[in-house]
Amino acid sequence: MATVSDQQRKKIHPHKFSLWVGMASILMMFAGFTSAYIVKRSDGNNWLEFTLPPVFWYSTGVILLSSLTIYLAAKAFKDRNMVRYRALITVTAVLGVLFTILQWSGFQFLQDHGVKLIGSNSNPAGSFLGVITGVHMLHVLGGVVVLIVLFARAFNTQRKNYSSVPIEVASAYWHFVDAIWIYLFVFFNIVSN
């Protein structure tokens, strides 16, 4: 009986396995996007040179901070410190929303300064930026929805579920979208200049 229990503990939870498969797919998608960006940029025809607005630096700080708060939230949950968990999951959700708002503000800044992201008069450089960071924002919004669900569950006093799998999955995904943003931020700051 002990060997069956040991074998079950060594198995990865199905939700965690699905998350890793999904993250691998997302990673390949962003690798494809950035590769296409490099190829199209090297073509040189009608390529607009621009720098990212300062608000993207602020959004980077916000998402890094949110990665710390979700790490601390998961730790608090595992320690059964529910007061601290509720506070930290709330801060993480707010930071996720703030990141999205700052990103939107960055897009508005670019639009206002002649970098058209979509539509007529758009430039391939701006369109690539819009598509790549827009897809990233959609993944962040998906993570924000999960954070809001965790937030609601944290304050639901009738439900007593102490499985750490949901916060572990959400935390891993949130760290992943954080890492993708850091990659994109560095990529656009190096390749776009």
Domain residue ranges of the chain, discontinuous segments joined by +: 19-37+48-191
Q: Is 161 left (phi over 0), alpha (psi -120 to 50) or beta?
A: beta
Domain 19-37+48-191 of CATH type 1.20.120.80: yes
The reported pTM is: 0.83
- Per-residue pLDDT tens digits of the chain, which is 193 residues long: 445 455 556 677 776 778 788 888 989 999 999 998 888 888 867 777 888 899 999 999 999 999 999 999 999 999 989 899 989 999 999 999 999 999 999 989 988 888 888 777 778 888 888 888 889 988 988 988 888 888 888 777 666 667 778 888 899 999 999 999 999 999 988 876 6
